[in-house]
Amino acid sequence: MFLLLVLAVLALLYYLYIKPLWYWKSRNVPFENPVPVFGNMMKPTFKLEHIITVIQRMYNNSKDSPYFGFLNFQNPILVLKDPELIKKVTVKDFDVFPRHRAMADEKIDPLWSKNLFSVQEVQKWRHLRATLSPTFTANKLRMMFDLMQECAKNFTKHYLQQEDEVVEVDIKDAFRRYATDVIATTAFGITCNSVKDRNNEFYIMGLDVSNFNGIRALKFFLYSSSPAICKILRLGIFGKTVSNFFRKIVSDNIRMREEQSIVRPDMIHLLMEARKGKMKKEKPEPVDLDVDSFAAVEESEMVNKEASWQMEITDEDITAQAMVFFLGGFDTTSSMMSFAIAELAVNPEIQQRLREEINDVVERTGGKIKYEDINRMKYFDMVISETLRKWALAVFLDRQAVKPYTISQENGKPALRIEEGDVIWIPVYSIHRDPKYYPDPEKFDPERFSDERKHEIKPFTFLPFGTGPRNCIGSRFALLEAKIALFNILIHFEVVPTSKVTLPLKLDEKLFMPQIEGGFIFSLKKIKTSFGDYLIS
């Protein structure tokens, strides 16, 4: 009996941890030798290498293949390299790959599983996306512009009021505080000044939500390696403190708006209107290329069509959208701004050229900056686009098949069959640094995105906000938020590196989220300007 039990355990261990090691070899797909239990994730798990580095190496070692195989613990992932194949999966055959892989059970972690990014049911996603998309139209962003501008002025004023002429700043922390204030006012209707009130509850919750170290890193490890165990143990991504905070903020906000008939052009208002069946169908706005960012993504025609299927919208649904919006702004957008500052600091000639463009706009407008003024700044947009190219914030995009699919190959190679439930990754960071698409990829060169050269960028090789119907809904919001902050800083400060920053800039291999070695510790050096009145106007 004991021998049978041992044999059964060994058979189970073989099936779970040994057999997957040969998955990609059996399918004739290029791969890097995995190890038991961890697959290709051992070095990232123990912080010996960043997952970006692992994927980059595998990307480079599979030069003649349109894809390669990755083993995420025991879960096989097909990683796509070919732009045409990426187009098929994300756009042409969206009906086969309409969702992301589930990271949480709806009954255990509703705030994570019900948000727009995570929701699994395709019809529900379509309706939710159509409901939320009017939040981010140009007209709505114009209404939010002054709110963002006020946050940026308060942010800049804080550092101008420091006695020292040169102020050392943790830029990532500073931008997280700015992002907190922007999201609080534009999404929740709450005024914050996180640079002054350094321990306000919104900011503290943001730190908690965006912390992927410690116990939350362990949870992600379990979700990636053994989702069934997470379900049995009823492990959610976020703790009760965070969840209850956002539930209370949203429920109090909804109650106040209903009692006082308050109307704000934000996400919560749109979801409240949709719940009442009063959501108005807006005509898609024509894109004005002179006031649009190159990196911004378009809403799919599929989403623009009015969804006929109706869904019940609860307070929990509204809270889930507000929470993921907060998370995206707090960490992702603040990272974009931080990388931009880092590159400007180590490329002073680019910083000076951008400052000259900013000064020209301030002088032309008399300091009364509008939405169109910032979005018509071509060199500014080139700098932001190159930041997103070199420091892609989405390391990879993921899609999951909901039915079988076949990838055909040329040169007589056998077709590759994908089964229902299989997951695909698109390695954005590696594609953005592929010299085939971007010569001298380590060089920070905004001229790649000039009017004369941007047509050279091959479709589906610039993916900072994803692609296809499931792209980032808030791309224009994030770009505007970043530009307003940098605009205000560069009027009054020269940004210079400190001795704490590793030069040349390189990725910190030990951190889960992309960050440069030494952290984003830069100095803001006050400069003489004739635009002092602009800041306090």
75 contacts 423 by C-beta, under 8 angstroms: yes
Within 8 A by CB and 6+ apart from 252, the residues are none
- C-alpha 103/C-alpha 41 separation (Å) is 17
Q: Is 472 within any annotated ligand binding site?
A: yes
- C-alpha 86/C-alpha 433 separation (Å) is 16
The residues that bridge with 494 in the sheet, in sequence order, are 525
Strand order in the sheet with 423-426: 67-72, 75-80, 423-426, 397-400
Within 8 A by CB and 6+ apart from 60, the residues are 430
Element (H, E) at 425: strand 423-426
205 contacts 242 by C-beta, under 8 angstroms: yes
The residue count for the chain: 537
407 contacts 471 by C-beta, under 8 angstroms: no
* DSSP per position, 137-198: SHHHHHHHHHHHHHHHHHHHHHHHTSSSSEEEEEHHHHHHHHHHHHHHHHHS-----TTTST
Cα within 13 Å of Cα(153), Cβ side: 16
- C-alpha 432/C-alpha 96 separation (Å) is 26
Q: For residue 113, what are the CA distances in angstroms to 78, 214, 475? A: 24, 22, 21
- Reply yes or no: is the peptide bond before residue 504 cis, omega within 30 of 0: yes
Phi and psi angles of residue 240, each rounded to the nearest 5 degrees, phi first:
-65, -35
Enter the DSSP assignment of 383: H
Helix, strand, coil tally for the chain in percent (to 5):
50, 10, 40
- C-alpha 424/C-alpha 418 separation (Å) is 9
Binding annotation: 472
Binding annotation for heme: 472
